[in-house]
Amino acid sequence: MKNVHMLSLLLLATVLTVHAPAVIPASDPCKGIPAELVKRTPQRLDATRTVSVAGVFQQAKEGRETLLIDVRSPEAFGRFRIPGSINIPLHFVKTKPFLKKKPFILLDEGVRHGSLAEECRKLADAGFPCSILYGGLTAWQDGGGSLEGDHAAWKGLGDMPAAALFLEKDREDWLMIDVSRQRSTLSTCLMPDAVHVEVSGSPEQSVSELSDAGWVGRTGSFTRILIFNEKGTDYDSIRFLTGKAGLQNIFYLEGGLEQYAAYLSQRRLSALPRESRLNTTTGCGSTCGGKNRQRVVAPSSE
């Protein structure tokens, strides 16, 4: 089985080096989504400003004080948080000069590492000794860290909206795992570098295969895993299996591939001239950053 996953990873390297056509053929399930919206251009993670959950635990074990700054909204922080962390929304961190006196770690849910890393870089350039908790609250929970607040509110940790995936897809630390019963053409089109693991067999076999995919596919010391299927269903049972497999930093694509395809289609339509847009009443909904609305073709001048 490991050989199969290694072959998948080799195919990944081949796919990433092949020049994609400008637009995916209309006959493809991606329905004409431009290839530039789909393809990944891997960007290296800056490990110098990244701290793992295990690293935070080690600092605490050594008696070193660790200042955790949760940059989510006050409302989100009020629902649940890491005990002892403080809440400073990201755009206010630079207004707190006392933070220049000792190192601190920024954190959020963990789905937008790229934008948080960019802000951390700017803060560091301004004299703030900051770093980022890799995987955020999701990794903290996966790694056995304690949370306080509304238990029901943090059950959704790790849920990744389509819009967030689009912004994050180029980060090289992602390992994509397709857990559909059969890998579809849509999966091959939108996630060509994904490893396919069928989880419809026995729990023991599913746990073994997820473990193989999760460990063999690691790109380095920092790896986030995105789990998805066609419709984004049955994630609760898959969470149980990934837990048994000992995997951490696990994220789940909200609405699955179909939601992601709808989001990309919306982005494509929004970039077209108004007269070229098609009448539609469909949308990908608030879960992927869009809204259900009707697009109306501009009246003809004839």
Residues in contact with 262: Cβ distance below 8 Å, sequence separation at least 6, in sequence order = 162, 255, 282, 283, 284, 285, 288, 290
Structure confidence at residue 275 (pLDDT): 61
Name the band, by pLDDT with cuts 50, 70 and 90, for residue 295: very low
- From CA 68, how far away is CA 86, in angstroms rounded? 6
- pLDDT tens, position by position, 200-248: 777 788 888 888 877 665 555 688 999 999 999 999 999 888 888 888 8
In degrees, rounded to 5, the angle at the alpha carbon of residue 104 between the alpha carbons of residues 100 and 107 is: 130
Tell me the pLDDT of the chain averaged across its residues.
80
- pLDDT tens, position by position, 50-96: 999 999 999 989 988 889 999 999 999 999 999 999 999 999 999 99
List of domains in the chain: 2-39+158-258 (3.40.250.10), 47-152 (3.40.250.10)
Q: Tokens 């299996």 — which residue?
A: 241
Structure confidence at residue 292 (pLDDT): 44
